[in-house]
Structure 1
Amino acid sequence: MAAGSIVVDFPSMGAALCFPSLDSLLRDSASGFLAAVSNAPAPGAADLTNFHRVFSRVLSAYPDPPLEAVWFFSALSFHDRPDDLRSLLQLLSAFTASSPGTAKPLALLAPVVSELFHADKPRRETETLVEAVLSYISICSNRSAPSSTVGATADAVSLLPAFGELVKVWSVRYSRERCPFQVLFPLAGDEARRELMKEGCSVDYLAGVVLAEAFLLRLCLKVQNATGVPRSELQKELKIWAVSSIPVFQNHRFFGVLLNMLLNSPLPVYSLVSADDEILLRDVLYDSLILVDYSFINNGVGVDLLPIYVLRLVITLDAVNDARRKGDQGRAVSFINAFSTSNVPNFLIKWATFQAGSGALSKPIANTPQSIIKWLVDLEVKGLKVFGDYSSCIMERFAYDGVKNGHGNMIHSDADLFFFDKQSGREFMDTKGSEDEAVDEMETAGNNAFMAAAQSMKGVTDGMRKRKSCGYEDATAVKFVKYKVEDSSLKDYLSAANGISSGSEVENPQSDDEMEESN
């Protein structure tokens, strides 16, 4: 961001005004924009000429214009031509050519994804635009710059404090009564929106949220188009697309946002699909995020893997319990096997041992998610604060919490969470003949004293710090009209890029390295 004051001319006012910073200019301009739009005699009739002139000059002063300035300028242009999403996408992408990182080009797309969610457009146009957004994201995600110091620094830059005012500018067309962050980020989920509301949130995190929203939107459209398709076939097709797309995006923030969505079920897709379809999408995400060992996650340079690995631990446990509730023992064992052979157990054991500061610390009896989480919670009960900010995330899995968010699925009691192999250290083999035997050998364990201690440590709040203007009810969310079209273009693109067709079997999805080798 340029330092020093900013002087801008307002010809119609016959005056030049001095602003101490770009942030103050954006705040005043956003306030003026909202007032002009409110006082206009009709939608789209506000006179925004002065703002156009000012921000044309502001943008020309930067070799790589700040995201917030680009957002405001594009909001002015979109106000003149509402619903022209193709032009909006082209305008936003034009400002990213000189950006050294990958985060800003993705973060800039938030208004496009929001408009695709809200706008009532013909079905084919919506599909085409969503595919265009994802294709653009794929291109940006494969830039080489983020590996450099300059690119990494650009991605880690914080959003200006005026970011919240820009959110209001982009949300004003739909509602002044709902939280602006709900309007602009309709598929982000409460946890992600709370993070975006924090001062100092990074452009990198915003990019991950936008990518997760575009990803979910595409999955929802595929579900809407699948009328008459058997559920098993649909789940297989969605899993193929998800597993093919995730390594193309190569985005740790995106991966973490999806894990957080699963942690706080139901998924934020209730205005687009039915409750049964939400369960289907959750199963697809469980399979895509747990069963595949993505190399870009394990090999992240300069990336804090702890939040992702902690979330993978808890989500795997949820997925195992969910599969067992549904009577799918083979799927439960597949989740356990995938976790046990991943990098997650060893990483968490080393990390917790370091946090505890004891080289003689006993190790878990096995690398299963049940054993790892029991071991870590036991350390917390003994007073070793190994989890820090993640303590409540873990402890809530040991509480009697009632019904989950209106879905009717009871959270398992503490004792039900502890089912693990009786033979210490045994590896479960995901073979056809031994799946049921392996699961049958798992038994529940736990003692009342330990559970009482874990229960007493659970936080008394769930971290829901709402802004005064932001409730989280979303009763007025707009639904897409359900439709069915041939979805060949994106399948062809993914087939060419990943060597996978929509008819492939993905009972045991490959890693992204294996996919590349197969090509």
Structure 2
Amino acid sequence: MAAGVLVDFPSMGSACYFPSLESLLRDSTSRFLAAVSAAPDPDLTNFRSLFSRVLNTYPDPPLEAVWFFSALTFHDAPDDLRSILHLLSAFTASSRATAKPLALLAPVVSELFHSTKPRKEIEALVEAVLSYISICSSCPAGSEVNADAGTLLPGFGDLVKVWSVRNSRDRCPFQVLFPLVGEEARRELMKEGCSVTFLAGVVVAEAFLLRLCLKVQGTPGAPRSELQKELRIWAVSSISVFQNQQFFGVLLNMLVNAPLPVYSLLSADDEILVRGVLYDALILVDYSFLSGAEVDQADSSLFHIFGSRLVITIDAINDARRKGEQGRAMSYINTFSTSNIPSYLTRWAIRQAGTDQLGKPIAITPQAFLKWLVDLEDKGLKVFGENCSRIRERLMHDEDKNDYQSRVSHSDADLFFIDKQSHWEGMDTKGGEDGEAVEMETADNSFMAAAHSMKAMANGIRKRKDCGTEDASVMKFVKYKAEDSSVKDYYLPSTNGMSSGSEVENPESDDEMEETV
């Protein structure tokens, strides 16, 4: 392909020479959109023949070429999402990186969002997508999920139109193809040179959020407290298995730039429930794929993750206090204080400034650290950049800013947490805590245990018999099957008798999950 591509389309009347794959994709996209606009059922034979030859010239075909070819196939059978999922996964069998196979799934997730199929069928397909994501994250190449997987071609924006043409309705093509991320993530995708790794993180975040919304939709009338506990266990375990920094960062960014982009799927009350689940899953756990972070890491995305996590911690504290949930608010404060985030932010600031004469926050609390970082920005240190005005506004409107200066000691932490060595241990609550804080601890015990157990499986998809323990009490959790990308039962041992014992998966979709994708 480096020498160019000579294309002979009889319908065009002459042969065309394209100096690169990028120029071929631009011209093909233009001709495809013109053909679709001119006739509801255009003849795409020449396109299929051309891109079949193009794909066969690569041992590991470029993402953009695979997307165009699969769009041609999908145009003929727009309801057969299962076949498209198989097709896209087949083209990545020889890929050594994890980001590209995940990024390729973007059209499938988009079509599932726009689909009018019955909810149970959509649930089954979303589970299949998450199963595939889990397998990619757990295979030996999973360690490369955050490695540089290259950048998207400059013609990527035009290619988005090919997949969004059926649902565009005069809307932005990126909004159609990426319906479950915020505007900031879409702007990043529109930039020339956007990384394939970032696209992969967006796709995983959208599939994760879509499944979370479907779970809420599938349990109308369920007790909110019980539903929230089950969703937290599922969310924490999924994040632990995916081990994807970009995905984690996209989720954080959704919360920083509220409201969540789920208004077409959930009611306002359900959006509040999902936001609470995400607060707990993103704040109350010290994930191993983040805990070993070093300040001198070349990728600056890690600072953005910790900075965003700091901001949403303050939002979560304020949200809990508005609801009168003081025990939950203290859990967020204590988690921050006992995490590696304060030391990381301090070392990062010293490294950026080139001096350790920066002063210190007045306390190891989220509010104090955010104020310290904003003060450093005022002194010329580039911290939050273009987002600084929004961060400053949060500080100005912090209704409880003085309360954050309260003394917090490590020994008073009222929740379970995963430490930097991926061990987990409990820290006893004090007898004077109210009942709400005790209930919070009990729920946290369950999902921390779930995350720890799922993390042990992350290096490979194991058979059910390998997951047994001496404890006879088990809880049904996520269903994944490595052999054929469908789903199978995994069991997590209950911990200290605190497991909820309830199924995390929706019961009505269990049978479907046993099918082969």
Q: CA deviation at 1:428?
A: 4.3
Match for residue 43 of structure 2?
A: 47
Match for residue 499 of structure 2?
A: 504
Contact 1:370 1:419 in 2 (8 A): no
Contact 2:99 2:146 in 1 (8 A): no
Q: Distance in 1 between matches of 2:293 and 2:101?
A: 20
Match for residue 124 of structure 1?
A: 120
Contact 1:356 1:385 in 2 (8 A): no
User: Secondary structure of 1:134's match?
Assistant: helix
Contact 1:107 1:210 in 2 (8 A): yes
Where does 1:257-268 land on structure 2 (aligned, <5 Å)? Answer: 257-268=250-261
TM-score normalized by the length of structure 2: 0.79
Match for residue 331 of structure 2?
A: 334
Where does 1:274-353 land on structure 2 (aligned, <5 Å)? Answer: 274-299=267-292, 303-304=299-300, 305-353=302-350
Contact 2:477 2:491 in 1 (8 A): no
Between 1:6-15 and 1:165-174, the stretch displaced more is 6-15
Which amino acid in structure 2 is aligned with residue 296 of structure 1? F
Between 1:423-432 and 1:122-131, the stretch displaced more is 423-432
TM-score normalized by the length of structure 1: 0.79
Match for residue 405 of structure 1?
A: none
Deviations 1:83-141 (A, max 9, x none): 10010000100100111100110110011101111111122211111111100110011
Q: Is residue 2:153 matched to residue 1:156? A: no
Q: Distance in 2 between matches of 1:386 and 1:172?
A: 40
Contact 2:477 2:489 in 1 (8 A): no
Deviations 1:237-279 (A, max 9, x none): 1111101111111110000000000001111001001000000
Q: Distance in 2 between matches of 1:423 and 1:107?
A: 45
Match for residue 204 of structure 2?
A: 211
Match of 1:139 among 135, 140, 157: 135
Change (3 A) 1:388 1:357: farther
Q: Distance in 2 between matches of 1:504 and 1:65?
A: 45
Q: CA deviation at 1:81?
A: 1.0
Contact 2:334 2:408 in 1 (8 A): no
Contact 1:100 1:146 in 2 (8 A): no
Change (3 A) 1:47 1:62: same
Deviations 1:50-75 (A, max 9, x none): 10111001111111111010000000
Q: CA deviation at 1:433?
A: 3.5
Q: CA deviation at 1:423?
A: 4.6
Q: Distance in 1 between matches of 2:261 and 2:330?
A: 28
Where does 1:472-491 land on structure 2 (aligned, <5 Å)? Answer: 490=478
Aligned residue pair count: 436
Match of 1:91 among 87, 94, 104: 87
Contact 1:188 1:213 in 2 (8 A): yes
Deviations 1:151-209 (A, max 9, x none): 876x4311011111111111111124101111111111211111111111111000000
Contact 1:371 1:418 in 2 (8 A): no
Q: CA deviation at 1:327?
A: 0.8
Q: CA deviation at 1:505?
A: 4.3
Q: Distance in 1 between matches of 2:164 and 2:113?
A: 12
Q: CA RMSD in A?
A: 2.6
Q: CA deviation at 1:362?
A: 2.2
Q: Distance in 2 between matches of 1:291 and 1:216?
A: 19
User: Secondary structure of 2:490's match?
Assistant: helix
Q: Distance in 1 between matches of 2:149 and 2:239?
A: 21
User: Identity, % of aligned pairs?
Assistant: 68
Q: Is residue 2:102 matched to residue 1:106? A: yes
Q: Is residue 2:177 matched to residue 1:178? A: no
Between 1:428-437 and 1:29-38, the stretch displaced more is 428-437
User: Secondary structure of 1:228's match?
Assistant: coil
Q: CA deviation at 1:385?
A: 4.0
User: Secondary structure of 2:127's match?
Assistant: helix
Deviations 1:223-250 (A, max 9, x none): 1110121111111111111011111111
Which amino acid in structure 1 is aligned with residue 490 of structure 2? A
User: Secondary structure of 2:404's match?
Assistant: strand
Change (3 A) 1:426 1:232: closer
Q: Distance in 2 between matches of 1:363 and 1:95?
A: 52
Where does 1:448-467 land on structure 2 (aligned, <5 Å)? Answer: none
Q: CA deviation at 1:489?
A: 8.3
Q: Distance in 2 between matches of 1:140 and 1:191?
A: 26
